[in-house]
């Protein structure tokens, strides 16, 4: 067990003295969990091999799953990468700071432990005021995966970060709930037609408005099932799984509700405790089970924001099975369905 300092910071009114302590921990090779606009991240100095190793240890993360390097100022990118393609510049102008990660050919400065042995490096500039200020104060690039035990849903609120990482990292900055709720979009910009390796906070539609055609890694389109090996190493691992088994139900909305009710009754009669991941529009239609609304179908941003939190809330309620509604794979719905499919291990019932 490591002694973890817990540091509360108000994102609207940042106490720089308190943040300075965390920046010092990072500078000295320690690990700090902090909020970003997507999910909480677990950071360490990206240029310090030993510091980076601590991230993998704290999370139990496989060493071939590369980390995203976070920067606070645009100039800081140059020493991390070999070349800056024109389309990358356009995307940076349009979406940084924000939930977009770009894959570049890496410079020799970036250790291979950060990139999981690859010759490429993932870089992002977060927009969250605490993340920005912390990275700037630490004056080093910060490698940071999501702040959760490997395989579990990412964390989007303080209590969930504390549950996973207290005793495993040097400090946790509690800075309130995050905004976006799903991780950044990962785009490979080293190829002629840029390719989405992981759908996320910035949608394919938004990217295409800026740089024209964008492909999606076939492994993502098939949600990782079948013959395609994902180009983003992290996408091949079990991910986002609560303790309960997750089953997705897909179909027309009314059929979905009916299908979930039938499955709930069947599972309950076998003795299982069943949770239902509903939406504001449907939650009153279910007659039993532990019902939690994940957000509004009419505003999928709310579903993205609540998704990981709600998966963890079902574990807090102690259900055995989560029956989850599904969403259209458009705009942010692509990221939502990607995470849900992985949480469910591709267990989908079509009704």
Pick one of Mg ion, ligand AMP, none as the site partner of residue 189 (Cβ within 5 to 8 A by kind): none
Closer to Mg ion by Cβ: residue 147 or 214: 147
The reply on whether position 185 binds Mg ion by CB under 5 A is no
4 annotated as a binding-site residue: no
28 Cβ contact partners less than 8 Å away, ≥ 6 residues apart: none
**What residue number has its CB nearest to ligand AMP?**
234
The reply on whether position 66 binds ligand AMP by CB under 6 A is yes
- Rounded distance, CA 313 to CA 153, Å? 11
Q: How far apart are the first and last CA of the chain?
A: 47
- Rounded distance, CA 89 to CA 204, Å? 17
127 annotated as a binding-site residue: no
Closer to Mg ion by Cβ: residue 36 or 293: 36
171 annotated as a binding-site residue: no
Selected from 25, 174, 180, 186, the binder of ligand AMP by CB under 6 A is 186
As measured in angstroms, the least distance from the Cβ of 87 to ligand AMP is 17
As measured in angstroms, the least distance from the Cβ of 330 to Mg ion is 24
- Which residue has tokens 């890496």? 106
163 Cβ contact partners less than 8 Å away, ≥ 6 residues apart: none
240 annotated as a binding-site residue: yes
Closer to Mg ion by Cβ: residue 59 or 87: 59
The reply on whether position 137 binds ligand AMP by CB under 6 A is no
Stretch that binds Mg ion, among 143-151, 200-208, 325-333, 338-346 (CB under 5 A): 143-151
The reply on whether position 304 binds ligand AMP by CB under 6 A is no
Peptide bond into 245 cis (omega under 30): no
Stretch that binds Mg ion, among 85-93, 139-147, 244-252, 288-296 (CB under 5 A): 139-147
- Rounded distance, CA 308 to CA 314, Å? 10
DSSP-H helix ranges across the chain: 16-27, 49-59, 86-95, 129-138, 158-165, 204-211, 218-221, 253-269, 300-317, 332-343
The reply on whether position 146 binds Mg ion by CB under 5 A is yes
193 Cβ contact partners less than 8 Å away, ≥ 6 residues apart: 213, 214, 215
65 annotated as a binding-site residue: yes
Specify binding-site residues for L-threonine. 38, 70, 124, 184
Residues annotated in a binding site for ATP? 61, 65, 120, 144, 146, 154, 198, 240
């Amino acid at each position: 067990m490591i002694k973890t300092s817990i540091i509360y910071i108000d994102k609207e009114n940042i106490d720089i003295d308190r943040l300075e302590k965390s920046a010092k921990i990072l500078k000295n090779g320690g690990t700090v969990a902090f909020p970003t606009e997507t999910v909480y991240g677990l950071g360490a100095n990206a240029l310090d091999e030993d510091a980076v190793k601590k991230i993998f240890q704290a999370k139990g993360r496989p060493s071939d799953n590369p980390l995203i390097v976070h920067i606070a100022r645009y100039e800081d990118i140059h020493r991390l990468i070999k070349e800056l393609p024109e389309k990358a510049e356009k995307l940076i102008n349009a979406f940084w700071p924000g939930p977009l990660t770009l894959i570049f050919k890496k410079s020799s400065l970036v250790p291979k432990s950060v990139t999981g042995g690859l010759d490429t490096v993932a870089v992002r500039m977060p927009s969250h005021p605490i993340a920005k200020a912390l990275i700037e104060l630490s004056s080093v690039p910060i490698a940071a995966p999501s702040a959760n035990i490997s395989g579990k849903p990412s964390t989007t609120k303080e209590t969930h970060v504390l549950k996973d990482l207290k005793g495993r990292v040097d400090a946790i900055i509690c800075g309130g709930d995050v905004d976006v709720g799903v991780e950044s979009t990962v785009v490979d910009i080293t190829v002629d037609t840029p390719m989405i390796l992981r759908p996320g906070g910035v949608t394919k539609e938004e990217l295409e408005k800026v740089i024209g055609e964008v492909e999606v890694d076939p492994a993502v389109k098939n949600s990782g099932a079948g013959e395609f090996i994902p180009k983003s190493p992290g996408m091949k691992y079990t991910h986002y799984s609560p303790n309960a088994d997750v089953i997705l139900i897909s179909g027309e909305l009314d059929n979905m509700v009916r299908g979930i009710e039938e499955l709930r009754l069947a599972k309950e009669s076998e003795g299982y405790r069943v949770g239902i991941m509903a939406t504001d529009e449907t939650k009153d239609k279910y007659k039993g089970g532990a019902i939690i609304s994940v957000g509004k179908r009419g505003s999928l941003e709310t579903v993205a924001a609540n998704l990981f939190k709600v998966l963890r809330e079902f574990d807090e309620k102690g259900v055995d099975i989560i029956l989850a509604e599904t969403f259209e794979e458009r705009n942010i719905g692509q990221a939502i369905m990607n995470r849900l499919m992985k949480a469910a291990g591709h267990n989908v019932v079509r009704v």
